[in-house]
Chain A
Amino acid sequence: MTVPVSWYLALAAALFGIGILGVLSRRNAITMFLSIELMLNSVNLTIVAFARSFGDRAGDMTAVLDGNVLVLMVIAVAAAEAAVGLALFIAVYRGRRSIDVNRLNLMRW
C-alpha cells in the first residue's frame, strides 16, 4: 500500500519542531545553524509531498514538476546561505575567539 500524504507532512512537522528546539535551546552558533538546515529540509519535504498530492489529484505532472524545481532552488539557496553563514562564523571567531552566542554581546569590537 502507498503511504498517505499526511504521514509525510506529520514527519516534516516533527522535524521542524525538533529544528526549532535546536535553535532555541543551543548556545553554540554552529549547532543552531545545523538546526536551521534541518528546518529547511523539513520544509523541502513538505513542498515535495504537497506537489505530489496536488499533481496526483489534478492528474497532471506540471504541479509535481513545479514543486521539484522549487525544491531545487531552495537547496541552491541553502548552499549559498551555508557558505556565507560559515564565513561569518569564521570572521566572528577571529575577533572574539568564540562563537558562543551568549558571549556575542557587542555591536563592535
Chain B
Amino acid sequence: MEMAVFLLFAALALVSSLVVVLHRNPIYAVMSLVVTFVSIAVMFVLLGAPFLAAVQVLVYTGAILVLFLFVIMLLNVSGDSSRGFDLHKALAAVVAAGFALLLLTLFWGRYHGLDLSPLQESDVALKPLARALLDTYLLPFEIVGLLLLAAVTAATVLARRSQDTSS
C-alpha cells in the first residue's frame, strides 16, 4: 500500500516537474509546480513528517507559488525567447543528466537496501517537534523571523517605483 502511494506520487512529481521545465507558458509551469510540491508533501507524510507536509502545502503552494503567479500576471511575461532544440539546450540536458546520474549512483551505492521500520505513533507526534523548534532551536527560530522581516523590507524597497525616492 505504502509502496503504491509512493510510486504514484513519485511518477506524478517527475512528470509535473518535467512540465515545469519544458512548458513555454510560465503560468502552466507554476500550476504544474503546485502538483510537484503537493506530491513532495505526500513524500513528507510517508517519511513521518506530517507537520512539514502541512507547512509545505501552506507556505510553498499557498504563499510562494501564488506570489509567482501574481508577479507573472503583473509583468505580463510572454514565453521563452529561444525556440526549438539547439546546442545550448542539448548541453544543458547532458549536464543535468550527468549530475542526476552522479547523485543517483552515490545514493544508490551507499544507501541501497536500507529498509525503514514502519512508523510508530510516537514518531509522528507533534509535541517533540514543537519542543525542538521552540526550545532547543529557539535562537535560530528567532533569527529566521528576523531574516523574514529583512526580506519583506528589502522586497518593498526594491519593488517601489524609483520616482518616489527622488522626490
Contact = CB atoms under 8 A, between A and B. Distances in A.
Interface of A: 1-22, 24-28, 30-31, 33-35, 37-38, 41-42, 44-45, 48-49, 52-53, 56-57, 61-62, 64-66, 68-69, 71-73, 75-84, 86-91, 93-94, 99-100, 102-103
A69 B114 contact: no
Contacts of A80: 147-148, 150-151
A11 B95 contact: no
A24 B22 CA distance: 12
A91 B158 contact: yes
Interface residues of B, number: 87
In terms of DSSP, what is the predominant structure of the interface of chain B? helix
Given A64-B123, A76-B148, A6 B114 contact: yes
12 contacts: A4-B115, A6-B113, A8-B47, A17-B96, A17-B97, A33-B68, A38-B20, A52-B47, A64-B123, A75-B52, A75-B56, A82-B67
A88 B129 CA distance: 35
A19 to B, nearest CB: 7
B77 A30 contact: yes
Interface string B111-140: 111111110001100001100110011001
Given A34-B33, A66-B132, A41 B40 contact: yes
A25 B144 contact: no
B45 to A, nearest CB: 10
